[in-house]
Chain A
Amino acid sequence: MLPAGSLNNRRGVASTRMAKAATLSQAEIERFVERAKRGDRRAFGRLVDEYKDKIYSYVSRMLGDPYEAEDVTQEAFVRAYRSLPRFRGAASFHTWLYRIAGNLAIDVVRRRKRNDVSAFSLDEPLESDDGEYEREIADDTGGPEDATGTRETQLAVRRAIMDLPEKLRDVMILYELQGETYEDIAEILDVPLGTVKSRLFNARNQLKERLQSLVEAGEIEVEQ
């Protein structure tokens, strides 16, 4: 049982370090949505520009595969455009986009499970028609000395997140990495606020246990 009122509107750790700050005001977004509803693809393009990093990073973190994430993100925006006539503005546009993208990402995860390919490793090379190549993990570390350690830690964290049950992973990514609020996550996932909080609580606990076992096994080191 969580302490009453404990998980309030605090932002996730990533809320202040999202890739790009929003550039459109709410009024502008609403205007572009209305124009896009009338078939204005340029207006929709502005909306894609506005939200592509958010949606891509969410999908990429859900799937752990940047190439698949690109396809899913593109498909999410195409479907959003097709569904715009049904968007009534009850939800905010960005939570609506998240929901479309999340559903598509979950479809991919379930398809993987059916095909028994869920246990792929982020360390394993990707296969393509041109042969195998390494997965690209963005590296924003300073110098070469700590780069290896950080990259290993990043891979371990990503793997630990990927190992979380689907429902916990979703909330963990949306809150901790995407910086969404509890209210928005509840809207995106269509679950009560209390469910979001309890899932986040369980996700943190499970992530801690998984990463701790890796630290204890000496597979990763922690920066103090």
Chain B
Amino acid sequence: MTCVEVRENLVICWGDADELSAEVLAHLAECEACRLEAMLLRETRIMLRSLPDEQAPVGLTEGVLARLADEEAQVGLPGRVAAWFVPQDQPAWARAAAVGVALALAVAGGSVLYHGQQPAGNEPETVVATTQGQVPGQAEYDELLLRHRALEASQALADDPGVTLVTYYR
């Protein structure tokens, strides 16, 4: 067995005699240079083992969760509404569609409630429900928003969560 072959074996087992074959041990008995190499490897391993374990700083989990909560708050209501209907592992288009459907449902529901609260003979302003499940274009959105704000100003919709959802279309 050559010194090169022996040293490959030594590196693999960190020079640990317990893990060496009889052939390698026989070589070591005769070769001082390889014995020195084995000792150096054992020392290196000892030094490596002197490193202490490292533990994550206190509060790391809380920090991660706080950041996630902040991010989710920034995503806003549509993201959370979508999450109710479509799991996060669905494609972006499916989640976007879910936002639209969720908003339409909420708007429709709000409109019905609103309609039910109106005095008889007074046709309710159901403008926010006219999207019929479709995300409105910019012009339609602007018109809806204007009319919605006018209604809000009259306090008619101030407390209706279904109707106010329309403002999330942007």
The chain A residues found within 8 Å of chain B, CB to CB, are: 1-3, 6-7, 13-14, 17-20, 37-39, 41, 44-45, 48-49, 52-53, 55-57, 60-61, 66, 70, 73-74, 77-78, 81-82, 84-86, 138-140, 150, 153-154, 156-158, 176-177, 201, 204-205, 207-208, 211-212, 215, 220, 222-223
Contacts and interface: CB of A to CB of B under 8 A. Distances in A.
Contacts of B12: 2-3, 6-7, 201
Interface string B21-59: 000000000000000000011011111111111111100
A73 B83 CA distance: 27
A16 to B, nearest CB: 11
B55 A157 contact: no
A51 B72 CA distance: 23
**Majority DSSP secondary structure for residues of B touching A:** helix
A52 B56 contact: yes
Contact of B45 (A13, A20, A84, A158): A13
Contacts of A208: 11, 40-41, 44
Interface of B: 5, 8-9, 11-12, 14, 40-41, 43-57, 60-61, 63-65, 67-69, 71-72, 83, 87-90
A176 B47 CA distance: 12
Contact of B64 (A6, A48, A154, A176): A48
A169 to B, nearest CB: 13
12 contacts: A2-B8, A3-B12, A7-B12, A13-B48, A14-B53, A37-B88, A57-B55, A61-B54, A66-B54, A74-B64, A85-B89, A176-B48
Given A14-B53, A19-B53, 10 more contacts: A14-B49, A45-B65, A48-B60, A52-B56, A74-B67, A154-B51, A177-B48, A201-B11, A207-B44, A223-B46
A211 B103 CA distance: 65
A60 to B, nearest CB: 5
Contact of B61 (A45, A82, A223): A45
A222 B51 contact: no
A109 B153 CA distance: 56
Contact of A52 (B14, B52, B61, B68): B61
A46 B150 CA distance: 48
A85 B53 CA distance: 32
A211 B56 CA distance: 27
